Amino acid sequence: MTVTSATIHIGSYASDASASDGDIIVTAPAKESLSSCLSDKVKIASLQSINIFLQTSELLSHYDSLALASLVPSLGPNGSVSVHVVSDGAADGMDWGVIMTSFVLAGLKTESEQRGGDGGRVFTARKAAATTTASAPTRLNIDATKTKVTLNLDDDDDDDQIDEDDLLAGGDGMLAPPPTIDMEARAKAAADDCGGRKACDSCTCGRAEQEAAESRGEEKKEPHKSECGNCAKGDAFRCAGCPYLGMPAFKEGEEHVVLKLSDDV
């Protein structure tokens, strides 16, 4: 006999109806047994319908929302699943969402929800029909003529290679050494804030005073070096004989800056 339909009784639900032709009746007394109640009784994709029966008082305690996904492989394409919740007087405040959630998790499409006069309900969902995708043959443009390519792996001709010893020894064709860098000239250019040009008319960096001293033949005076470390902080920290008395505070290394302050009042 070919089995095309399965009826599952969950928990304490019982019925006097006998199985019809092509139908089997199985029980799932516990919540954990629902997912495996059909595993050894039907073949994959052999059923046209699955009917589940349980009482309203055992919906939350015995119905597993994840177990329905384990039963769906037994359904054939376009097969249906019906969950019959029989009222036993405990339908008030019932959370019917667990059944709808199980349909979604199992990949089923909800079709209908029927409400009985006694508070029971019947939920029906259907498995998607099998779809066939037509495939177009792939045509490869392969030329009938074949070109034979020969690779010579024993070629020892290394005339185009460069000898590393020649690079180390130098000689004709080698790269010229880098030019010699005058470190003294570089240091002098780095110390010149004006970039080698003459002092500006409104010079405040001390270059004008330096050029005037050089034109008079005077020796270049080295900037005063602070012994106490307070010269740059301002008059409040300077000694009585500090050469920077009366000057505003400055940063270390900017002693040559000459500030020209004028009263515009």
DSSP E strand stretches across 116-250: 121-126
Residue 112 corresponds to which tokens in the numbers above?
A: 């209908």
Residues facing 54 on adjacent strands: 85
If phi > 0 it is left, if psi is from -120 to 50 it is alpha, else beta; for residue 196 that is left
The pLDDT tens digits of the residues spanning 193-251 come to: 666 677 777 776 667 777 887 787 766 666 667 778 888 888 888 888 888 888 888 88
pTM: 0.48
Find tokens 């033949």 and name the residue.
Answer: 217
Angle at 84 between CA 81 and CA 85, to 5 degrees: 140
Name the token pair of 256.
């040559």
Q: Residue 236: exposed, middle, or buried by beta-carbon count in 10 A (0-12, 13-18, 19+)?
A: exposed
| Separation CA 177–CA 45 (nearest Å) | 82
- Among 112-126, 127-141, 185-199, the least confident range: 185-199
**Measured between alpha carbons, how far is 142 from 149 in angstroms, rounded to an integer?**
17
Residue 214 is predicted with a pLDDT of 79
Q: How confident is the model at residue 99 (pLDDT cuts 50, 70, 90)?
A: very high
The per-residue pLDDT for 21 is 82
Residue among 167, 197, 65, 75 nearest 126 (CA): 75
The DSSP bridge pattern shows strands 75-86 and 47-55 to be parallel
| pLDDT digits 0-9 by tens, 150-174 | 777 666 666 667 777 766 665 565 5
SS3 of 6, please?
Answer: strand
Which positions ≥6 away from 88 have C-beta within 8 Å? Answer: 55, 56, 57
Number of neighbouring beta carbons within 10 Å of residue 254: 11
